[in-house]
Structure 1
Amino acid sequence: MFDMVKQWFWYDWILLLFRLIFSVSLILTMVEFQGGLTLPLWGAISWEIIAFSVPWFCLLLNYKYYLVTEMILSGGISLYLSFLFPEAYLTFLMPAFMIAANSAKKSHRWSGPITILVIPILISMVSRQSTPWLVIVHTGLAYALGFAFHLLVVNHRQNEIIRDQNTVLEQYVSQIERVTILEERTRLSKDLHDTIGHSYTSIIMGMETLRLELVTDVGQDKLDSLLHLARKSIDEVRGYVHQMESPQDRLPLVESLQQLINEFQANSNVNVRFRSFGEESAIPRQVQMTFYRCLQESLTNAVRHGQATEIGVSLQFEQRQTRLEVQDNGLGAEHLQEGFGLRAMKERAFNLQGQISVYSEVGEGTVITCTLPRQVELSDEVIRLLLVDDQPFIRESLRTLLEGQGDLKVVGMAEDGQQAVDICEQVQPQVVLMDLDMPNRDGISATQLIKQQWPDIRVLILTTFQEKEKAIEVLRSGADGYLLKSMEPRELAETIRLVHHGGTIIAQDMSTKLFEDLETSQNGSEAQSVESKTLDAYGLTSRELEILKMVAQGLRYKTIASKLYLSDGTVRNYASSVYLKLEVRNREEAVQKAMEIGLL
């Protein structure tokens, strides 16, 4: 009960003060006119104390119990005093005010007539009042004032709810905006590095091969000048790329999470406790970003859906894994539905050989645990690499970029799959970076042969193909990872280390497509028939359905337009058509209805 009192607002204390003043005044009046009481003074005072305390305790439990006890006890003592003193009907004005102020929902329909008509008529009958309408009018005015106070309280509560929801919405929008900016920075930095950086590297390697053909001193000087300019330019490009990296990439994991929590607390009325256990060590950027995104989504969901007021965050550095746990005191749910955010969290963890577990019970809050394997790097360990690609410039570029890492060493380079198998027999590399489309023997057959003869050699496919069928065929051949050449070199180095230590990596874009295909195949023809019937029922076209699915993924109209090679206005027109056909007003309602009718 003390916890309930701690949650009171100013109007709860005002009502308690009014009630206390009224009860004390009535007791003092009975003491002054004790000669006219038929009951003993202590009996009348006890009755008033009961009439003060019992309804108040009932109000803490349920407003209906309060209304009944208030009418019986306070109305009863007013009837008794009015029988002795006709002017004592005024003692029922304060209870009438309290009854109206504490009525809720539809209780005014029965509490109003009883308070304004039934009890005043009884008071008029026992007090032998010649003007019963006067008692009804006075009581009605008191009830009206109480109802006005009730409306003021309801308005205040709704404003508090709106303010809280607005705070959560602002926090959510801020997080979405920050995530979008970080993702765009990452995309731009990758594009810059992959296009300009690799081009410069290829140019440098090409000019180095021409050095022997230039025999004059003038030619050597010109070549040295061009090489100097190219190396200077690539250093500048790398500097721009590093400047575009998000601040979280440069912060240690604990500081990055603490900064996120501080920003969250500053924009919300939620207390977040953060604790870190174990010795912090350097972790790959992908792992750090996964923990960062997991904490972002968990904090937002705890307030937005769970209405939590206390959140506990713990980060545990263990010998073989790192674990992030987020526990809140929110509403919880018996059957938690996985939204887009939770599915994205699980996909990120799955790509890093980790897992996301969620526990939620009604009234007990929610616990989200993100566990990722810890990659322990040995200072004296060197990973032996074999580069396989039919393009010389690509091989030289990869060699230049990867050997800049202290723990990576290129021990061989091959221009086709057959040569890769021969070199594996000679140098026994630990990790093979394999291209797919090559002469003599392609990457898939070479991978199968290497895995058959040397199962301990890890094969990492590095290609430009983004075809799902090709990725499935590669994984079936025994490859330990499937990556795109467009990834950042630093991420490539981290991925090589992860694969070398037993992990399996699939490029995020490809894993998303594979998960979608897996879900589609599980649903089978039944899901296709249901979707077809639903499309016919609502008249959606295949393009409108495609845009609806992208909207459900949280993509903005501009992003959808760039993916589908459409204009921003065309995508907005398609979205408006979808909303009109589904009879909804916005994207949230469209996604919810699409899930209900089986489109998503």
Structure 2
Amino acid sequence: MLDMVKQWVWYDWIMLGLRLITSFSLIFTTISFRDGLALPLWIVIFLEIAAFSIPWVCLQLNYKYYLFTEILLFGGLCIHLTSLFPGAYLTFLVSAFLTAANSARQSYRWTAPATVFILPGIFHAVAPSNGYWFMVTYYGLAYVMGFAFHLLIVNHRQNTTIRKQNKVLEQYMSQIERITLAEERNRLSRELHDTVGHAYTSIIMGMETLRSELATETGTKRLDSLLELGRNSIEEVRRYLHQMESAQQPLSLVNSLQKLGDEFQAHAQVDVNVSAYGEEYPLSRQAKMTFIRCLQESLTNAVRHGQATGITVTLQFAQQYTRLEVQDNGRGMEEWREGFGMNAMKERAMNLQGQVSIYTRPGDGTLVVCNLPRPAEKAEELIRLLVADDQPIIRESLRALFDDDQDLDVVGLAEDGERAVDLCETLQPHVVLMDLDMPRMDGVQATKLIKQQWPHIRVLIFTTFQDTDQALDLLRHGADGFLLKSAAPLEVADTIRLVHRIRWEQPISAIESCRRL
């Protein structure tokens, strides 16, 4: 009840004030004329208090309950007093006004006749000195004024709703603009990465494999010069791609979320409280953007669908995961319906091996939880790695690149899926870097066999094939991640560590399908 009163506006206080003035006046008048009462004074005062309080409580619950109790209780009290004091019929004028002001939809069909015609008829029957049509005119005017007041209330509520929706839409449009710019930057980065970045990476890997075939000192120097040129060029491409990042990227994750919450609070007029726990550690750009998009979508849904007035945002940096919780005090819902924004948010989290959960109940608001695993660090144990690829240059280049990582040991190379299955049986690697398109037995069939026979071996799909449906099919059959060959070598190594470190009950839903330079 107290929460309802806190949401009152001026017209609610006006109607309460009219009821209080009418009730107190009636009580004082009753005390003044107590000698003419047919019942004891305390019983009449008790009935007057009940006629005031019961309809008012019903009004907070349902307007239909109010209409019935107002006409029956207050109307009945006025009939009794009119039978004793003929002028008491005037007391019901305020009630007629309030009845019209709180009626809605089809209730006018019966409240108007009951208030304007039926009750005056009863008043005339118990006090014939009162003219019937005279009372009908009075109650009709009171009812019309109440109806006009009702229209004023409806207009005010609609204008308030429109203003709130406009604020939310303005905030939402600003978010859409930022998201569009960020997604366009990401698209350009991805296109450049998949073309220029992949070409440079392949050239560098290929030249590394030629080092042993150069016998002269001049050839070695020339190769070193070409490698240096290639590395400098790819670093320059990286710098260009990093300049495409959105303005929020240079900020830490906590500061980015705090800034987003402050902007939303200023535009949508909603209290947003952002707090962080634990020591902040570095996160990838994709993880930061996932948390930012999750908060944006959660804030928008809380106001648009939940009509929340307060939102609490909590960011937790734990040892194994990073968690974002967004709790609102909105109305909640019986059954959550996912839209485009929520599906996109879940897809972002899934691509980082995380998950998004939504908890909601009517009257209890909505809780959105986004959970992402902590970035992998170099493992203390040695990771035994098997590379399966039909291209010799790729296999040898990966072996050469991983030689610089003390925690990665390439224990075997397989030219097809059948050989990969045989080497898994003899070598028992920790992680298999599996290509898809291979002769004799492709990576799809090999992955299924490996996961059936050795579930503890982690399989990371490593291919240029970008068919999402086939990648998801592999993940459903036990693959632990999906990574494109266009990924930078350092990110490939970090992903291998991440896949090896995480021990979830279910297979990792997806790995970053498109790593950026």
Residue of structure 2 in register with 1:63 after alignment: 63
* 1:264 corresponds to 2:256: no
The alpha carbon displacement at 1:11 in A equals 0.2
In structure 2, the partner of 1:299 is 299
User: Do the aligned partners of 1:483 and 1:505 also contact (CA within 8 Å) in 2?
Assistant: no
Paired residues in the alignment total 506
Deviations 1:28-55 (A, max 9, x none): 66677x4984569956666655544443
Report the equivalent of 1:485: 485
246 and 403 in structure 1: CA distance in 2 versus 1, 3 angstrom threshold: farther
Residues 145-183 of structure 1: CA deviation (Å, up to 9, x unaligned): 011101111222233333334444444444444434333
Aligned twin of 1:365: 365
Structure 2 counterpart of 1:328: 328
Aligned to 2:92: 92
The change in CA–CA distance for 1:349 and 1:480 in structure 2 (over 3 A counts) is same
- Asked if the contact 1:190/1:488 (under 8 Å) is kept, the reply is no
Stretches of structure 2 that go unaligned for 5 or more consecutive residues are none
2:376/2:495 contact within 8 Å kept: no
Report SS of the residue matched to 2:311.
Answer: strand
The Cα shift of 1:215 comes to: 10
Closer, same or farther: CA 469–364 of 1 in aligned 2, 3 Å: closer
Give the root-mean-square deviation of aligned CA atoms. Answer: 5.1
Post-superposition offset of 1:356: 4.0
Structure 1 gaps of 5+ residues are: 512-600
Which residue in the other structure is 2:132 paired with? Answer: 132
What does 1:92-171 align with in structure 2 at a 5 Å threshold? 92-129=92-129, 131-171=131-171
Given that 2:96 and 2:146 are in contact with CA atoms closer than 8 Å, whether structure 1 keeps it comes out as: yes
Q: 1:361 to 1:45 in 2, by over 3 A?
A: closer
The structure-2 alpha-carbon separation of the partners of 1:155 and 1:490, relative to structure 1 and needing over 3 Å to count, comes to farther
Q: CA shift at 1:412, angstroms?
A: 9.4
Q: What secondary structure sits across from 1:369 in the alignment?
A: strand
1:411 and 1:203 map into 2 onto residues whose CA distance is 21
Give yes or no for the alignment of 1:278 onto 2:254.
no
- Residue identity in the other structure for 2:93: L
Name the aligned partner's letter for residue 90 of structure 2.
Answer: L
Counterpart position of 2:14: 14
Q: CA deviation at 1:312?
A: 3.4
Corresponding residue number in structure 2 for 1:525: none
Q: In the TM superposition, what is the alpha-carbon distance from 1:303 to its structure 2 partner?
A: 3.4
Larger relative CO (CA 8 A, sep 6+): 1 or 2? Answer: 2
TM-score by length of 2: 0.74
Q: For residue 193 of structure 1, what is the aligned residue in structure 2?
A: 193
CA displacement at 1:20 relative to structure 2: 2.8
- Report 1:35-50 matches (<5 A): 37=36, 48-50=48-50
- Aligned-pair CA distance for 1:259: 3.3
Partner AA of 1:122 in structure 2: I
Q: Is the 8 A contact 2:353 2:510 kept in 1?
A: no
Aligned residues of 2:207 and 2:227 also touching (Cα < 8 A): yes
Aligned to 1:330, the other structure's residue is in SS state coil
Matching residue's letter, 1:321: Y
Deviates more, 1:470-479 or 1:177-186: 470-479
**Structure-1 separation of matches of 2:363 and 2:400:** 57
Supply the distance in 2 between the matched residues of 1:375 and 1:509 (Cα, whole angstroms): 12
Deviation at 1:360, TM superposition (A): 3.4
Bigger drift between 452-461 and 265-274 goes to 452-461
**Quick check: 2:297–2:341 contact (8 Å CA) kept in 1?**
yes
Task: Name the counterpart of 1:5.
Answer: 5
Structure 2 SS opposite 1:106: helix
Contact 2:380/2:407, CA 8 A, preserved across alignment:
no
Whole-Å Cα distance in 1 between the matches of residues 118 and 424 of structure 2? 99
Alpha carbons 1:100, 1:146 under 8 Å: kept: yes
- Alignment-mate amino acid for residue 90 of structure 1: L
Deviation of the 1:270 alpha carbon:
3.5
Q: Matches of residues 201-240 of structure 1 in structure 2 within 5 Å?
A: 233-240=233-240
One-letter identity of the residue aligned with 2:112: G
| Distance across 2 between alignment mates of 1:452 and 1:89 | 87
Moved more, 5-14 or 270-279: 270-279
Residue of structure 1 equivalent to 2:497: 497
Give 2:241's aligned amino acid. V
Relative distance call for 1:439 and 1:373 in structure 2 (3 A) is same
Deviation (angstroms), 1:187: 2.1
Instruction: State the shift of 1:242 in Å.
Output: 0.4
The answer to whether the 8 A contact 1:313-1:327 is kept is yes
| Most deviating of 60-69 and 6-15 | 60-69
Residue 498 of structure 2 aligns with an amino acid whose one-letter code is L
Aligned position for 2:374: 374
Question: Structure 1 residues 472 and 173 mapped into 2: Cα distance closer, same or farther (>3 Å)?
Answer: closer
In 1, Cα distance between the equivalents of 2:315 and 2:125? 73
Letter paired with 1:259: K
Q: Which amino acid counterpart does residue 485 of structure 1 have in structure 2?
A: K
Preserved CA contact (<8 Å) 1:444 1:477: no
1:463 aligns with 2:463: yes
Is 1:313 matched with 2:335?
no
Is contact 1:249-1:285 (8 Å) kept?
yes
Tell me the CA shift for residue 214 of structure 1: 11
Cα distance in structure 1, aligned partners of 2:314 and 2:2:
30
Greater Cα shift, 437-446 or 170-179 = 437-446
- The one-letter code sitting in structure 1 at the alignment partner of 2:96 is A
Which residue is equivalent to 1:594?
A: none
Letter aligned with residue 16 of structure 1: L
Work out the percentage of aligned pairs sharing the same amino acid.
58
Deviation per residue, 1:380-433 (Å, 9 max, x gap): 7786877776768867987999899x7787879979559x97999999986564
Distance 1:356 1:66 in 2: 43
- The Cα shift of 1:77 comes to 5.3
Contact 1:202 1:397 in 2 (8 A): no
Q: Tell whether the 8 Å contact from 1:495 to 1:505 is kept in structure 2 after alignment.
A: no
Secondary structure of 2:315's match?
strand
Q: Taking structure 1 as reference, are residues 392 and 263 closer, same or farther at Cα in structure 2, changes over 3 Å only?
A: farther
Q: Which amino acid aligns with 1:244?
A: M
Separation in 2, partners of 1:58, 1:473: 57
Q: What is the alpha-carbon distance in structure 2 between the residues aligned to residue 428 and residue 174 of structure 1? A: 53
Shift of the 124–476 alpha-carbon distance from structure 1 to 2, 3 Å rule, reads closer
Contact 2:182 2:246 in 1 (8 A): yes
* 8 Å contact from structure 1 (residues 386, 412) kept in 2: yes
The one-character-per-residue Cα deviations of 1:247-290 (angstroms, maximum 9, x if unpaired) are 45444433333333333333334434444333333344444444
Cα displacement (A) at 1:377: 1.6
1:183 is matched by which residue type in structure 2?
A: E
Measure the CA separation in 2 of the matches of 1:132 and 1:448.
Answer: 90
Judge conservation of contact 2:353–2:372 (CA < 8 Å) in 1. Answer: yes
**TM-superposition CA deviations, 1:110-144 (whole Å, max 9, x none):** 12112111222333444444743222112211110
Provide the rounded CA distance (Å) in 1 between the counterparts of 2:130 and 2:386.
109
Q: CA shift at 1:329, angstroms?
A: 3.5
Aligned to 1:515: none
C-alpha separation in 2, matches of 1:147 and 1:400? 85
Contact 2:198 2:486 in 1 (8 A): no
- Partner SS state of residue 267, structure 1: helix
Hey, what's the Cα distance between the residues in 2 that align with 1:227 and 1:361?
60
